[in-house]
Structure 1
Amino acid sequence: MRYAFRLAELLGHNPDRRRRPGTIKAIVEHTGLDRHQVASLLKNEAKYIPIEALSKLCDYLIDHGHATPAELPGALFAVRAEHFWELLARRRQLELCVGIRQGDVNDAPEQAWVVASDSVLMGALLNGVSTLGGSARHHSAGSSANGSTKAEENPPQPERLLQTLVWSPGHVSAEETNLRANSVYESFSGAPGDKAMVCIGSVKSNPVAEVLFSEAFGCDPFVSQDDVEKASDRACPFFMRYRDFDPKPPSSTAGERLSKTEAADKPGLWVETDNGTWEWAGGGQNSDVALVFYIFREALGRLDMVLSGFTGRATRYLAKTLATRSEAFWPPVYEEPHVQIGAYIVEYETDGSKAKSEDLLMTNVSSAAKITPLSAKAIARRIVSNG
C-alpha cells in the first residue's frame, strides 16, 4: 500500500502562483521549517519527513483550525490509488457533469434532455466506481493476526455524489453557456477536500470539458486556436476537427484547422507525436474514436476527468470499453510528484452502416478497441505544472 501526503488538501492550498494566499510563508513563520521543505511537502514531492517536522505541521494545523488533535497525524496521509476505478472511488466527493439540450428554443427549460449515449456512459461510470470495475468483491484485506478486521476490508466509495447539468453549445446563447460552464468549474475548484469531477461528452456537448482542458494546458477557454502560426503552437496536444454539420463552438481544443498553414483534412481526433508532428487518430466513416483524459493533483486530492466520444456511437462504445478494459487507462501517461495525467485515444473499427432505430435502446454495444496513450513528451511540452 502506498501513501500520499495531504498537507495541501487540508490547507486548501492552490498551487497556482496567481492564487496562492501566502501559505508557505505562514507555515514557515509558525513552524520554523525550511521554506523549500514546506514547498516540497505541499507538492507531495518530499521523499521523507522527520518526526519533528511532522509534529510542527500538526501543531500548525491544529492552531489554525484545519484539523483536530484526534485526526492527526492520520489526516495528513492518504492511500494512493493503484488502478483506474480506485482513483475515482477514493475521492470523497464525486461530481458528474453532463450537457443538456432542448429541441426548440421555445421549449420550456424543464423539457431539456440528456442524449442517450451520454446516459449510457454515465451508467457505466457509476457502475465502475461502485464496484471498482467488478473487483470490489476481491478487495477485502482479510483479518489481522488477532482476528480483527482491517480498515480496508470494505472497498473505497465516495462519501458524496453530485450531478451537475450545463447547457450544450447552441441551445442557449454562447454567453449563457460559457457563463454556466465557468461557474460550475469554479465551484468545483473552490470546494474543500478530496474531490473529483468527471465531464461526460466532448466540447461539442459539454462546455465544462473546454474549461477543464484550458485550465490543464494554460490557455483561454472558448477561444479558437485555428489561427496559430503552426500546429506545435497549439496549447493542447490533441485536437478535435469538427465535421461539417457539427456545432462549432469556439474552442482551444477543437476547430477546423490545425494552424494557419496546416489543414486538418479529416474530421475526428488529431494528436501530437513525440517528434512534434500531428497525426489523425480516427473519426471517419469506418473509424470512430473517443478520448479519456484525466489530471490528478495528488497533494490536493483533486481529480479532473473528461470521457469524450467523437460521436454518440463512440460514446456508447467507450462505456463498454471502460467496463471491460479499464486496466488500459492505468498507470497515468505522464507523472510528476505533484501531478499525474492520463490521456488515451480509443479507436473503434466500424462497418460504416447506419444505426438502426432499435440500436438506440442497446446499452451494451461494443466494438474492437485500439487504446493508445498520448505522447508523454507532447504533454510535457505543454502541461502547466503550476509548481
Structure 2
Amino acid sequence: MRYSFRLAEVVGHVPDPRRRPGTIKAICDYTGLDRHQVAALLKNEVKYIPLDALSKLCDYLIEKGFATAEELPGRLFAVEPEHFWELLARRRRLELCLGVRRGEPGDSLDDAWVVASDSVLLGELLNGVTSLGGTARHKREKEKVEGAPAEPSFDPHPEQLHQSLVFSPGQSSFADYVELAKQVYNGFCSAAGDKALICLGSNKSNPVVEILLAEAFGAVPFETQDGLATANKRHCPIFFRYRGHDPQTPSCCGGVQLSTSEKSDAPGIYYEKSDGTWDACTWNATKQDAAVVFYIHRESQGRLEMMLGGYSGRATRLLARMLARRGEEFWPPVYSGHGIQIGAFVVKFKLQSQSENDPHALLTDLAADSEIVRLAPDVIERRMQIAGEEDM
C-alpha cells in the first residue's frame, strides 16, 4: 500500500501556467520552506517529508482555513490506487457524463434519450466501480481465510455520484452544445475535493470528450487540425477519422485527414507510434471496429478525468463487455511523470461478419477477438504541456 501527498487538493492548487494564484509563494512566505520543496510537495514528487516541514504546513492550512486541526495531518495523505477499478472507486465524487439525442429538433428536453450502447457501458461501469470489477467479494473471502477480523473490510467506493447530460453533436446548434459542454467541464473543475469525471462515448457523441482531450494535451477544443503539414504536429496522439455520415464536428482529435501530407482514407481510430508514424484500427461495417480508453490522473490534486467510448455504438457495447471481463488490462498507466499518470489505450475488435444493425445485438453478447494497444510513453511525453513553477 502506497500513500500520496494531497497538499494540492487541500489548498485547491491547479498547476496551470495560465492560472498563477501564487500558491507556492504564499506557502513559502508563511512556512519558510524552500520553494522547490513546496513545488515538489504540490506535485506529490517527494519520497519523504520532515516532521518539522509537515508541522509548518499544518499550521499554514489551519491559519488559512483550508483544514481544521482535527483533520490534520490525515487529510494530507491518501491511499494510491493499485488497479484500474480502484482508480475509480477511490474517488469521493464520481461524475458520469453522457451525450443525449432528440428524435426531432422540436422535441422537448424531456424527450431526449441516451443511445443503447452508452446505457450498456454505463451499467458495466457502475458495476465495476461498486464491485471493484468483481474482486471485492473474493478479497473479503481471502481476508477471512487468512484470519482477518470478522467485520467486513472496507471497500473503497464514491461517496457522491453525479450525472451530467450534454447534447451530442448535431442535436442542437454548434454554439449551444459547445456552451453546455463547457459548463459541465468547468463545473467539474470548480468542484472541491477528490473527484473524477468519466465521459462515455467518443468526441462524435459527447462534446465533453473533446474538451477533456484538448485540456490534457494543450490543444484548442472544437478547432480542426486537419490542415497541419504533418501528423506529428497534432496535439492529440489519437485521431478519430470520421465516416461520411458522422457529424463533421470541428475537432482537435477528429476529422477527415491526419494532415495535408499523410493519407487517412479509411474511417477508424488512428494513433501515433514511437517512430512518429501512425497506425490505424479501422472500422468496417461487418468485420472490424475500435474503441478508446483514456485517462489522466493527477494524484496530488485528487483529480481523475477519463473517456471510454467506441468508434461506433457496436464498439461501445464491445468495450462494455471487455471492461466487465478484462478491465484490469487498462492498468497500469502508459505514462507517469511530472505528478500525473496517463492511460491511453486503443482497442482493436475483429468480428465475425456481424453487422452494426444486427437485431440480435441487443439480446445477446457480441463476440469479437480483441487486442489492446498501449500507446508508447514517449508519444505521450513529447506532447504533454508541463506546467512551470509559479513566479515568486
Same structural fold, with TM-score higher than 0.5 when normalized by the shorter chain = yes
Give the equivalent residue in structure 2 for 1:90: 90
Give the equivalent residue in structure 2 for 1:356: 358
CA distance in 1, matches of 2:110, 2:132: 34
Q: In structure 1, the residue corresponding to 2:380 is in which secondary structure?
A: helix
Query: 1:13 deviation in Å?
Result: 0.3
Give the equivalent residue in structure 2 for 1:64: 64
CA distance in 1, matches of 2:118, 2:337: 32
In the alignment, is the contact (CA less than 8 A) between 2:352 and 2:368 conserved in 1?
no
Give the equivalent residue in structure 2 for 1:382: 383
Q: What one-letter code is carried by the residue in structure 1 that aligns with 2:58?
A: C
Query: 1:265 deviation in Å?
Result: 1.5
Give the equivalent residue in structure 1 for 2:36: 36
Within-5 A mapping of 1:101-112:
101-112=101-112
Q: Confirm whether residue 181 of structure 1 aligns to residue 181 of structure 2.
A: yes
CA distance in 2, matches of 1:281, 1:18: 35
CA distance in 1, matches of 2:2, 2:226: 43
In the alignment, is the contact (CA less than 8 A) between 1:320 and 1:366 conserved in 2?
no
Residues 115-137 of structure 1 show CA distances to partners (whole Å, capped at 9, x for unaligned) of: 00000000000000000000111
Q: What one-letter code is carried by the residue in structure 2 that aligns with 1:288?
A: D
CA distance in 2, matches of 1:149, 1:67: 34
In the alignment, is the contact (CA less than 8 A) between 1:139 and 1:154 conserved in 2?
no
Percent identity between the aligned chains? 54
Query: 1:365 deviation in Å?
Result: 2.9
CA distance in 1, matches of 2:133, 2:319: 14
CA distance in 2, matches of 1:225, 1:198: 25
Q: What one-letter code is carried by the residue in structure 2 that aligns with 1:378?
A: V
Give the equivalent residue in structure 2 for 1:247: 247
Query: 1:161 deviation in Å?
Result: 0.2
Residues 314-361 of structure 1 show CA distances to partners (whole Å, capped at 9, x for unaligned) of: 000000111111121000000015100001111111133423323234
In the alignment, is the contact (CA less than 8 A) between 1:142 and 1:149 conserved in 2?
no
Query: 1:14 deviation in Å?
Result: 0.6
Question: What is the RMSD of the two structures over their aligned residues, measured on CA atoms?
Answer: 1.7
In the alignment, is the contact (CA less than 8 A) between 1:195 and 1:302 conserved in 2?
yes
Give the equivalent residue in structure 1 for 2:113: 113
CA distance in 1, matches of 2:291, 2:245: 19
Q: Confirm whether residue 277 of structure 1 aligns to residue 277 of structure 2.
A: yes
CA distance in 2, matches of 1:61, 1:138: 40
Within-5 A mapping of 1:1-387:
1-140=1-140, 142=143, 153-285=153-285, 286-354=287-355, 355-362=357-364, 364-387=365-388
Distance 1:112 1:62, change over 3 A: same
Q: In structure 1, the residue corresponding to 2:360 is in which secondary structure?
A: helix
Query: 1:68 deviation in Å?
Result: 1.0
In the alignment, is the contact (CA less than 8 A) between 2:338 and 2:386 conserved in 1?
no
CA distance in 1, matches of 2:106, 2:86: 43
Q: What one-letter code is carried by the residue in structure 2 that aligns with 1:339?
A: I
Query: 1:369 deviation in Å?
Result: 1.2
Gaps of 5+ in 2: none
In the alignment, is the contact (CA less than 8 A) between 1:139 and 1:155 conserved in 2?
no
Using structure 2 for the length normalisation, give the TM-score. 0.95
Q: In structure 2, the residue corresponding to 1:78 is in which secondary structure?
A: strand
Residues 173-228 of structure 1 show CA distances to partners (whole Å, capped at 9, x for unaligned) of: 00000000011001101111000000000111000000000000001000000001
Q: What one-letter code is carried by the residue in structure 2 that aligns with 1:244?
A: G
Distance 1:230 1:142, change over 3 A: same
Distance 1:245 1:134, change over 3 A: same
Distance 1:361 1:109, change over 3 A: farther
Q: What one-letter code is carried by the residue in structure 1 that aligns with 2:120?
A: V
Between 348-357 and 111-120, report the one with greater CA deviation.
348-357
Query: 1:148 deviation in Å?
Result: 6.1
Query: 1:20 deviation in Å?
Result: 2.5
CA distance in 2, matches of 1:52, 1:337: 25
Between 245-254 and 274-283, report the one with greater CA deviation.
274-283
Q: What one-letter code is carried by the residue in structure 2 that aligns with 1:246?
A: D
In the alignment, is the contact (CA less than 8 A) between 1:236 and 1:253 conserved in 2?
yes
In the alignment, is the contact (CA less than 8 A) between 1:235 and 1:252 conserved in 2?
yes
Between 28-37 and 276-285, report the one with greater CA deviation.
276-285
Matched pairs, number: 384
Query: 1:298 deviation in Å?
Result: 0.7
Using structure 1 for the length normalisation, give the TM-score. 0.96
Gaps of 5+ in 1: none
Query: 1:107 deviation in Å?
Result: 1.4
Q: What one-letter code is carried by the residue in structure 2 that aligns with 1:198?
A: I
CA distance in 2, matches of 1:344, 1:219: 20
Query: 1:366 deviation in Å?
Result: 3.5
Distance 1:29 1:134, change over 3 A: same
In the alignment, is the contact (CA less than 8 A) between 2:167 and 2:206 conserved in 1?
yes
Q: In structure 1, the residue corresponding to 2:308 is in which secondary structure?
A: strand
Residues 33-85 of structure 1 show CA distances to partners (whole Å, capped at 9, x for unaligned) of: 11110000000011111000000001111111111111111110000000000
